Amino acid sequence: MKINLLILLSIIVTNSFSQVSKPLPVIDMHLHALRADDQGPPPLKMGLPFDNFGAHDPKNDYGETFMQALKSGQWSKRSTSSPLTDDSLRAQTIKAIRDNNVYAITSGNINVVRKWHSEEPKRISNAVYWDFGIAKRNKLNVDSLAKLFKSGEFSVFGEVAIQYEGYSPSDSAFEPYLKMAEALDIPVGVHIGPGPPGVIYLGLKKYRASLHSAFVLEEALVRHPKLRLYAMHAGWPLIDDLLATLYAHPQLYVDLGIISYDITDKEFYFYLERIVNAGFGKRIMFGSDNMVWPETIPFAIERINKATFLTTDQKRDILFNNAARFLRLSPEQIKSMY
């Protein structure tokens, strides 16, 4: 009797342990493989979320105001500190995706991405972080990118961060890249929405708030009807522009990106609920936009799971099913992730 009870107990423990150790899979469309100092000298504090974005007196230097906020954590009650070294950032991020059963489209410097991939080839899918400056410096032009994609080593073109350079993705300068991605059937993720608050005054002088609008995607979408494209950061906070663009272009998806952890619960839920209420719950994908703060990954997943206005099915769509459909994963691939 005692032995049976022990066996029963061990079965219960094993079962609950296996559920805890392997949660339902999540696809992260927006992870970054960075170096520890890519966002400034560590440790830096990221709000989980930020309660506010401060108030700047222009007699001071905004770079100092911003860095002071990230060093002190003064914009938020709760924050997470970035790891100090490249190795600890990589180790902690890989641990976070393993613990939470996350499969991540991962972008950054292509050699850093390669290193992360070699450590976790099953969960890290290689993506190209790109803008015109990187194209010049690293010779990542249309031809060399096409080679990376054709080889199969890199499978997503994004994050395309040309918003920081003042470009719309519909600009003629970006046209050859869209054409290449459409011809090779490579999904493209474009940054449409928030960078760091006040980023213009941190040196990126050509960034514009008007480029938060999903309307900037329209001409690109019309010119390339076969292209798989997703708007990273879901064009926050220009909800009406986003909804109109999703309505007009049924092939367009979004990822939630940084708004999944850096803006207040109230604003995040308001924005997400609007997209769902308007009928676009099948085209929202999870994207952590984790840069150098691995704790943002479980925090962002949890925030979606805690949304009281979403059904269980809607949560699974956002965390997994929509991305699996967008990426055209096979039933076998999907099965292997559970």
CB of 279 to Zn ion, least distance (A): 26
CB of 305 to Zn ion, least distance (A): 22
Q: Which residue has the tokens 């489209």?
A: 105
- The residue type at 223: R
Distance between CA 182 and CA 192 in Å, rounded? 19
Q: Which is nearer to Zn ion, 288 or 314 (CB)?
A: 288
Q: Which is nearer to Zn ion, 83 or 195 (CB)?
A: 195
Helices (H), the chain: 2-21, 62-72, 86-99, 110-119, 132-137, 142-150, 175-184, 218-223, 239-248, 265-277, 296-305, 312-316, 322-326, 331-337
92 neighbors 294 (Cβ within 8 angstroms): yes
CB of 82 to Zn ion, least distance (A): 15
32 neighbors 291 (Cβ within 8 angstroms): yes
Listing DSSP states for 137-175 in one string gives HTT--HHHHHHHHHTTS--EEEEE-GGGGT--TTSGGGH
Q: Which of 283, 186, 190, 254 is nearest to 226 (CA)?
A: 186
CB of 289 to Zn ion, least distance (A): 4
CB of 21 to Zn ion, least distance (A): 29
CB of 39 to Zn ion, least distance (A): 11
Interacting residues of 278 by C-beta distance below 8 A, sequence separation 6+: 243, 246, 247
Q: Which is nearer to Zn ion, 163 or 168 (CB)?
A: 163
Letters for 272-301 (x = contact with Zn ion by CB under 5 A, - = none) are -----------------x------------
Q: Which is nearer to Zn ion, 236 or 314 (CB)?
A: 236
Residues 151-180 that bind Zn ion (CB under 5 A): 159
Size of the site for Zn ion (CB under 5 A): 2
Distance between CA 331 and CA 152 in Å, rounded? 20
Q: Which is nearer to Zn ion, 218 or 289 (CB)?
A: 289
Q: Which residue is nearest to Zn ion (CB)?
A: 289
CB of 189 to Zn ion, least distance (A): 8
Q: Which is nearer to Zn ion, 66 or 130 (CB)?
A: 130
Does 255 contact Zn ion by CB under 5 A?
Answer: no
Residues 101-160 that bind Zn ion (CB under 5 A): 159
Q: Which is nearer to Zn ion, 25 or 287 (CB)?
A: 287
Binding site for Zn ion (CB under 5 A): 159, 289
